[in-house]
Chain A
Amino acid sequence: MAQKVLVPCSSSSSCGKVQFSPSRVHTQAIAFGGELSQSSSRKNKSLALKAVAAKGETSAPVTAKSGHEILLFDALREGLEEEMARDPTVCVMGEDVGHYGGSYKVTKGLAEKFGDLRVLDTPICENSFTGMGIGAAMTGLRTVVEGMNMGFLLLAYNQISNNAGMLHYTSGGQFKIPVVIRGPGGVGKQLGAEHSQRLESYFQSVPGLQMVACSTPYNAKGLMKAAIRSDNPVILYEHVLLYNLKERIPDEEYVLCLEEAELVRPGKDITILTYSRMRHFVLQAAKTLVERGYDPEIIDIRSLKPFDLFTIGNSIKKTHKVLIVEECMRTGGIGASLRAAIVDNFWDFLDGRPECLSSQDVPTPYAATLEDATVVQPAQIIVKVEQMLQGLI
């Protein structure tokens, strides 16, 4: 198998995208990497653009006392507000987003500031307002479509798959669809099966879509801004239980890169890949693992489509062991695809099978005890990592 050489992109675009050295290329690697958005010139050199933290840095690169503390839902709102102020074509549509301020307050105050045409309350029809958002995006607006819960966007699957994902391609590149589709998803606290869907699992196959998942106020704001600026249709996955997470984020403007993963904790023993709420479970498990003398490297993959194989690959080359911790179900989730990608690209660097902890293949039950057993818990992560590092599996 040809040795794959991954180099960071050094173009003048606003983030370090991954580009593959053309002479040694694996067809599947191209599918996951490469340039996606058209090159955009660096507008403001003072933007903080580096997403990948080096050893010793925290995820929010601010010194003590600078920056401001913010909750995740408010960080999303800040990002949205900044983009709406900067670009008059950005508008929001969804149920109860206007005068109500959104079910999770992500659009709070925006209707008062920008008017109810740019923050549009719609009747209840997900397929309609998603289609509307796509149509508006094709004719010059940059729309942000909010699903009150990601699960309801299944009603808009046709629009998202057949239209948002496809029209740029089928039109021969004539029509672009700069739409952002966002909303809370994931398994919450006893919300019942229909409110606990993991749509990243269902949508990951759709060509033409980009998918990112935020997990902290810092990356939530940065990804929101990046998603709005992207010319591709982007699905931004928020987690219903992370909206009240608090963090100190920079005062100055910053935009993150949609295709980059985030190195949360550098280490050398094992690579743990995760995203969204599971990131926090992994960090919780890591405390115990570190106490027991292990040194896990934790990467929040953030970009669910495409995967940042550059960051992931570099880590695997160092640790030779990989565990994926996800909230998707075992069958057909992000973990399943990521395992395939790792096996294809980094087989030579692996000491053992890439492992994956996922949710059970059941509709999420409501009863608290059953619900807890459906998703991965920190205790399971500890057990699995120890088994892997002790060579037991």
Chain B
Amino acid sequence: MGLLPLLLRGAPKRFLRASGSYRSLYESNSRRRRHGTDAAAADQAVNSRADHRPDDQMLDFPGAKAAFTSRMEFISPNAAEAVPCFRILDDLGRALDGSDIPEVDSSLAVKMYHTMVRLQTFDSIFYEAQRQGRISFYLTNIGEEALNVASAAALTKDDVVFPQYREHGVLMWRGFTLDEFANQCFSNEAGHGKGRQMPIHYGSEKLNYFTISSPIATQLPHAVGAAYGLKMDRKNACAVTYFGDGGSSEGDFHAACNFAAVLEAPVLFVCRNNGYAISTPACEQYKGDGIVVRGRGYGMTSIRVDGNDALAVFKAVSAARKLAVEQSKPVLIEAMTYRVGHHSTSDDSTKYRSGEEIAHWRSVRDPVLRFRRWLESNAWWSVEDEKELRGAARKEVISAMNQAEKKNKPPLSELFTDVYDTLPRNLLEQEATLRDTVSKNPPSLAPH
């Protein structure tokens, strides 16, 4: 490597001497050491091997192997055209000409639709529950149902998911029940999280869905680490991590992408570019052409896809997964979508965007409706089916909510467990003091 092939191919003399490249210096020096002061003889020995090929060689810096140019040309900040966005269905759910519909049979398609509707129903009912004061916080996925469910459907259950917080549909697809969702939101003793995390901060070890942590983009390096583990174990699985347009600004995004590419980790980076990070619109989050163009910066395969087109998402994620697992390489998928709901129940997005804009995306651009139209065009779905599903979903969600609300909150004994694997002495003491205080002041402190 290095300069040796050049020497063997015969780089022009002027290049070897003028560039002063490190390898030629090294070789001249080593020759000086061997031949003593006979530097001229050493140089001649090197040069005599050159057979003077034309100078179409590559510059051989350790940082890059690039052809040289004598024209100074800055690369413009954006390409003439934005990276095109892959889609299969148009906004009305009709397959576009020339589309290659992926292999989605009626049972898979209907299952996907069921999950999207159940997710949408759960979101609207639990959002209202927060408004009524029954839970303290909620965050919806409205507008991103297709992205959630279709991406999940393209993965296997062995693929490990590292979510941000707006990917409940992925968990729902994998089999998290409505009761489990509700128990977590009500932080009762049946919840998997033992009442320790805020609503919607789900996690399930058996479903390979890692517990949500609020700070943005912290899950990206985790995903790379997990992917690296999968690679070492030679598993037929990859890591998949989700984040938003805002999350791509965090330092952890850069670190994770770079590491994944350099270490060749089988991880899918799925960016839900939904246009807003709380009140910050995408145009104030970045100045480049979105997130997809950064993939090339890291040496990573990337694609931009219509996140509201369930079929396109399904196809792209399937292909990306195959690449990641077979070649052990990361893939960046930028799914364009729109955050129809507020950031969370702590936000009122009408403060920074118009009601018309929200209504437009909620109705005309609804990804669930779009997918339904495609199902109907295949005669896989009917108006009666819709009515039945919507009614059933609503009943199931409300029932899960009422059950979860009635259950007890976690007992005091769960306050100190799981901080470590076993209770250390200081926590045993604190628990004893606390129980003593509680027994003396029952009404004002937590019941046992």
Q: Which partner residue on chain A sits nearest B438 by CB separation?
A: A373
Of B214, B215, B444, the contact of A379 (CB 8 Å cutoff): B444
Q: Can you list 20 A-B pairs with a CB-CB distance of less than 8 A?
A: A99-B352, A100-B278, A123-B246, A123-B284, A125-B249, A125-B250, A155-B215, A192-B201, A192-B214, A360-B427, A365-B410, A365-B414, A366-B195, A366-B196, A367-B188, A367-B410, A373-B412, A373-B415, A373-B446, A383-B440
Q: In whole angstroms, how far apart are the Cα atoms of A365 and B411 in the complex?
A: 12
Q: How far is the CA of A152 from the CA of B277 in the complex (A)?
A: 15
Asked if B196 and A365 sit within 8 Å, CB to CB, the answer is yes
- The range of chain A's interface size is 35 or more
**Which single member of B277, B284, B434 contacts A360 (CB below 8 Å)?**
B434
User: Do the beta carbons of B214 and A195 come within 8 Å of each other?
Assistant: yes
A370 neighbours in B (Cβ, 8 Å): 195-196, 409-410, 412, 414-415, 446
Q: How far is the CB of B357 from chain A (nearest CB, A)?
A: 16
Known: A103-B278, A127-B251. 10 other contacts (CB 8 A): A103-B346, A123-B284, A192-B201, A360-B415, A361-B430, A370-B409, A372-B446, A373-B415, A373-B438, A383-B437
Q: A128: CB under 8 A from chain B? A: yes
User: Which residues on the B side are within 8 Å of A154 (C-beta)?
Assistant: 215
Task: Please name the residue on chain B nearest to A358 by beta carbon.
Answer: B430
- Measured between C-beta atoms, what is the minimum distance from B386 to chain A in Å? 36
B427 touches A190 (CB 8 A): no
Closest 10 CB pairs of A and B: A367-B195, A192-B198, A123-B249, A100-B279, A373-B446, A367-B187, A369-B446, A365-B196, A194-B214, A379-B444
User: In the complex, A251→B412 CA distance in Å?
Assistant: 48
Counted as pairs of residues, one from A and one from B, with CB atoms less than 8 Å apart, the total is: 137
Interface contact B419-A363, CB-CB below 8 Å = yes
A285 smallest CB distance to B (angstroms): 11
Determine whether A191 belongs to the interface, using a CB cutoff of 8 Å to chain B: yes
A260 within 8 A of B: no
Judged by a CB distance under 8 angstroms, whether A368 is at the interface is yes
Q: Which residue of B lies closest to A359 (CB)?
A: B430
Query: Is the CB–CB distance between B278 and A96 below 8 Å?
Result: yes
A123 / chain B contacts, CB cutoff of 8 Å: 246, 249, 277, 280, 284-286
Q: Is the CB of A189 within 8 A of B246?
A: no
| Proximity string of chain A (75-106) to chain B, C-beta cutoff 8 Å, 1 when within and 0 when not | 00000000000000000000110011001000
- From B188, B427, B430, residue with most partner A Cβ within 10 Å: B430
In the bound assembly, the distance between CA atoms of A193 and B195 in angstroms comes to: 11
Question: Which residues of the partner chain B approach A363 to less than 8 Å between Cβ atoms?
Answer: 196, 419
B37 at the interface (CB under 8 A from A): no
Interface hits, B427-448 → A, CB 8 Å = 427, 430, 434, 437-438, 440-441, 444-447
User: In the complex the two chains form, what is the Cα distance from A8 to B77 in whole Å?
Assistant: 59
Nearest chain B residue, comparing its CB with the CB of A191: B198
Complex CA–CA separation, A70 to B191 (angstroms): 41
A56 to B279: give the CA distance in the assembly, Å.
46
Provide the bound-state CA to CA distance between A367 and B447, in Å. Answer: 12
* Contact residue among B251, B351, B415, B437 (Cβ-Cβ distance under 8 Å from A155): B251
Q: Is the CB of B437 within 8 A of A194?
A: no
